[in-house]
Amino acid sequence: MSCKVTFVPDNLTVTVAKGTTLRQAAAMAGIELKSNCGGEGTCGQCLVKVVAGAADAARYLEGNVPAKRRAEGYVPACRTQVAGDLTIEVPGFARLAQHRVLVEKIRKGEVLTEEGDDLVGRFGLDPLLRRVDLKLDAPTLTENASDWTRLVAALRREAGAPSLSVGADLEFLRRLPRVLREGDWNVAVWLRGWSGVGALGAAGRGASGNGSAEATFSDVAPKVLAVDVAPLAGAGKGLASASGSFGLAVDIGTTSVVASLVDLDHGTTLATRGTFNRQARYGDDVITRIIHAGESPQGLDDLNAAVVESINELVDGVTATAGVRATDIRAVVAAGNTTMEHFFLRLPPDFIRLEPYIPAAIEFPIVAAGELGLRVNPAAPVRCVPSVASYVGGDITAGVLVTGVAERDEVTLFIDIGTNGEMVLGNRDWMVSCACSAGPCFEGGGITHGLRAVPGAIERVEVGPGYEVEVATVGGAEPKGICGSGLVDALAKLREAGIIDRAGKFHEVDSPRYRLGPDGPEFVLWRSAAAAGGATGGAAGGGRRDSGGAPRDSGGAPREIVITEADVKNLIRAKGAVYAGIRSLLAAVNLGLGDIHRIYIAGGFGNYLNVRDAVRIGMLPDVAPSRYRFVGNTSAKGARAALLSRKAFEATRELAAMITYLELSAGRGFMEEFVSALFLPHTDLTQFPSVPG
């Protein structure tokens, strides 16, 4: 039986099968609901109200709803099934609002590491796809080679390689005859594997002599692939001069997706845009999304469509900014964690989640953009940067590439902290990696007033004499919540001020900011002028926390921002996991903290981290601050490098193969390190000589 579900105030109606959850119905209507639990009914975020429909038109399963919301008639959309025609009201606080993604600043025309390296200069401009303009001789009765034979002969002449192997797919051949004649035998051809005049000739590049060049999905094969062809101007049929060659470098994060439009001929970056990953409607972290993907036959399609939709939105943005046609985007390189790359390519991610945590693949064939539904040139080759393992993805490989970890003798630690903390330790001779589940709190998840690094998020906290507090927010806006860097700061300062002890327990300090809230002790970091003028009692606190967890962009901003003892415990577990991961890597190669020559902090969170505070809480190693470097979004940078230089892409393949993956759950070492790290800064204070005990 099919039922009509209408959502208000959007006034969108979808027809669904009986038994469909309201959450699924909302997703079908394009309405994105918040969720931390991925539809398990536990997080109480996806609340909606049934405003019309027969008494038995909705079936309610067990699900967690805050008491106040329950009294107001809210139900969890993920646990409410459609049983008849319904009208559903979706409140602002349950909607997943768009948020600004902080994209790294890019100096136009260069791909820079934090060291100022010019990656294009380092690897050479040799993009995934190259354009070659050809002037062919028109055929005659006696020079009557086929269209394809004629094109190949011209390419061989151009390359100076008479036996150059050239291929194409059927779609290319289907278009070729018309294009050749439209261009009056003058055409632009876009090629994969092309290295320019003479480069593929006697030098024998790609010959299979050296074993290392022989691997799966290699692009550096002797074969050149013709990908697209267009008539050149001169045919005078109003054709623009054969259109440009642009590429898209994409960083697919669990939370955000960032794309850069680059000019393949010149290596310049024309525009960069970020957006939030629309997969968030299916859960905040990779695990809940993998569960969704496996729950129904179209689950994986949902996740795939969501990320493709996110990228397409970025395509619209960067092409509009740069004034470039989307069909002139002719090559795409994407980097993301292993799960994101699986979703992007619609590969089954199920076994990533289940012990022993096996991905379908860690390197991937080149696919035509049209097959993936990307709104760029349908023939554009799309590649993903290779991953290392289930929880160390192509984003990390890209980071290791751009930071040059594998190019130095000295030992480097590379860390990308987000929901997961991924890290690589090593030098030119060896590299080990691991991933530790830091949980969502550094991205604002599971924290009373946690918020992503959007304007209004508290990013700096100072606790002065008499427990007075000063906060600074992203963009200087009125505080709306607190983000990862603010939380690290707050934890360090609360400890410094003696408000919490080494285990994270609150002392009953003498301040109106300290109080016993409904969930235990808490400390008020900020209160609005209105709240400051009014009551400061527990009732307001109760009302606040019932207002639905994380603050929201729409609806009223919180009147107070607090940090609770439960928040502190969450943060200690998160920082402990990161530190235990670092210790486990060091232990695996028998090195100590002193052997780390440099530490790279990557990721959006890392960009704003106060290293001194991160060391004080025992999250990062207590080494000289001069050894730390912030490297920003190295995943996006690496994708761009791999797009502009086939050598760089090959390097990511070699890196991915070279990095040893340490599965932390395989031994007892990590758990012991983790337990030791559940103090501020640590059980073993000798590891933090610079931190007061």
Q: Cβ(180)–Cβ(230) under 8 Å? A: no
Neighbour-count burial of 693, counting CB atoms closer than 10 A to its CB (0-12 exposed, 13-18 middle, 19+ buried): exposed
- Residue with Cβ nearer a second copy (203 or 532): 203
Phi, psi of 482 (to 5 degrees): -135, 135
Looking at the DSSP bridge assignments, the partners of residue 422 are 416, 435
Stretch in the footprint of a second copy (CB under 8 A) among 133-141, 557-565, 634-642, 644-652: 133-141
159 is an interface residue for a second copy by CB under 8 A: no
Other beta carbons within 10 angstroms of residue 381's beta carbon come to 23
Helix axes 394-403, 634-644, angle to 10 degrees: 80
272 forms beta bridges with 260
Looking at the Cβ atoms of 350 and 595, the one nearer to a second copy is: 350
Tally of CA atoms within 13 A in the half-sphere of 335 that contains its CB: 33
Q: What share of the chain is helix, strand, coil (3-state, %, to 5)?
A: 35, 25, 40
The binder of a second copy chosen from 30, 177, 196, 520 (CB under 8 A): 177
Q: Shortest distance, CB of residue 366 to a second copy, whole angstroms?
A: 9
| Binder of a second copy out of 42, 91, 118, 148 (CB under 8 A) | 148
Identify the sign of the CA torsion 360, 365, 366, 369: negative
Q: Tell me which DSSP letter residue 104 carries.
A: P
C-beta of 209: minimal distance to a second copy in Å? 7
Residue 562 class from Cβ within 10 Å (0-12 exposed, 13-18 middle, 19+ buried)? buried
Using CB under 8 A, pick the residue from 55, 141, 202, 530 that binds a second copy: 141
Nearest to 415 by CA among 439, 436, 390: 436
Nearer to a second copy, 17 or 358 (CB): 358
Nearest alpha-carbon partner for 642 in 632, 652, 634, 633: 652
Stretch that binds a second copy, among 1-9, 227-235, 408-416, 657-665 (CB under 8 A): 657-665
Least separation in angstroms between residue 166's CB and a second copy is 5
How many residues make up the chain in this entry? 693
Structure token digits, residue 388:
């290392």
Report the nearest approach of a second copy to the CB of residue 178 (Å): 7
Residue 364 in contact with a second copy, rule: CB under 8 A: yes
Cβ proximity to a second copy: between 11 and 144 the closer is: 144
The residues in 375-434 that bind a second copy, with binding defined as CB under 8 A, are: 389-390
Tell me the closest approach of the beta carbon of residue 144 to a second copy, in angstroms.
5
Query: Quick check: 306 and 278 in contact, CB under 8 A?
Result: yes
Closest approach of a second copy to the CB of residue 656, in Å: 10
| Chain position carrying tokens 């290293």 | 611
**Per CB under 8 A, which region of 125-133, 147-155, 439-447, 642-650 contacts a second copy?**
147-155
x-or-dash string of contact with a second copy, 660-689, rule CB under 8 A? -x-x-xx-----------------------
What does the alpha-carbon distance between residue 375 and residue 645 come to, in Å, rounded to a whole number?
23
- Residue 225: strand, helix, or coil: strand
* 139 contacts a second copy (rule: CB under 8 A): yes
Stretch that binds a second copy, among 63-71, 101-109, 172-180, 585-593 (CB under 8 A): 172-180
How far apart are the C-alpha atoms of 154 and 633, rounded to whole Å? Answer: 42
296 near a second copy, judged by CB under 8 A: no
What's the min distance (Å) between Cβ of 660 and a second copy?
11
Residue 211 Cβ vs a second copy, minimum distance, rounded to whole Å: 4
Closest CB to a second copy among residues 18, 181: 181
How, if at all, do strands 520-527 and 514-517 pair? antiparallel
Of 27-35, 140-148, 231-239, 400-408, the segment contacting a second copy by CB under 8 A is: 140-148
Q: Which of residues 187-226 bind a second copy (CB under 8 A)?
A: 204, 206-209, 211-212, 214-218, 221-223
Q: Is the dihedral of CA 555, 559, 565, 568 positive or negative?
A: positive
Judged by CB, which is closer to a second copy: 97, or 358?
A: 358
Among 297, 323, 356, 693, binds a second copy (CB under 8 A): 356
Q: How many residues bind a second copy (CB under 8 A)?
A: 67
The number of beta carbons lying within 10 Å of the beta carbon of residue 87 is: 17
Instruction: Report the 10 Å Cβ neighbour count for 198.
Output: 12
What is the 3-class SS of 509-566, one letter each residue? CCCCCEEEECCEEEEEEEECHHHHHCCCCHHHHHHHHCCCCCCCCCCCCCCEEEEEHH
Tell me the window of 86-94, 177-185, 393-401, 629-637 that interacts with a second copy (CB under 8 A).
177-185
Can you tell me which of 28, 136, 360, 566 binds a second copy, judged by CB under 8 A? 360
Instruction: Report the residue number, 118 or 147, with the smaller CB distance to a second copy.
Output: 147
* CB closer to a second copy out of 358 and 671: 358
Q: Any contact of residue 13 with a second copy (CB under 8 A)?
A: no
Distance of CA 566 to the CA centre of its chain: 28
| CB-nearer residue toward a second copy: 176 or 648 | 176
Q: Shortest distance, CB of residue 212 to a second copy, whole angstroms?
A: 7
Around 447, how many Cα atoms within 13 Å sit in the side-chain half-sphere? Answer: 32
Nearer to a second copy, 110 or 350 (CB): 350
For residues 221 and 322, which CB has a smaller minimum distance to a second copy in the complex? 221
Bridge-partner residues for 16, per DSSP?
3
For residue 297, state whether it binds a second copy (rule: CB under 8 A).
Answer: no
Contacts of 647 (CB under 8 A, 6+ apart): 123, 124, 126
Q: How far is the CB of 669 from a second copy (least distance, A)?
A: 13
Which of these, 567, 578, 576, 450, lies nearest to 500 by C-alpha position? 567
Judged by the rule CB under 8 A, the positions of this chain that interact with a second copy are 139-149, 152, 162-170, 173-174, 176-178, 181, 204, 206-209, 211-212, 214-218, 221-223, 345-348, 350-351, 355-365, 367, 371, 389-390, 661, 663, 665-666
